[in-house]
A = this chain, B = another copy of it.
Amino acid sequence: MGWNKLPAQAPARADEISNVKEETVIKVSVLYPNSAGCKFDMRYCLDKHVPMEQQNLGAACKRMAVEEGMAGGAPGAPATYVAMGHLYFDTTDAFQAAFAPHAQAILADIPNYTNTQPTIQISEVKL
Q: How far is the CB of A106 from chain B (nearest CB, A)?
A: 13
Digit string of A53-72 for contact with B (CB within 8 Å is 1, else 0)? 01000000011111111111
B residues within 8 A CB of A66? 125-127
Query: Which of chain B's residues has its CB closest to A70's CB?
Result: B122
- The smallest beta-carbon distance between A44 and chain B, in angstroms, is 12
Q: 5 shortest A-B CB distances, which residue pairs?
A: A73-B120, A67-B123, A66-B127, A3-B63, A3-B62
CB distance from A80 to the nearest CB of B (A): 5
Q: How many copies does the complex hold?
A: 2
How far is the CB of A86 from the nearest CB of chain B, in Å?
9
Residues of B within 8 A of A123 (CB): 67-70, 79, 81, 84
Set B11, B29, B70: member contacting A92, Cβ < 8 A: B70
Chain A contacts with B in 65-103, Cβ cutoff 8 A:
65-74, 79-81, 84, 88, 92
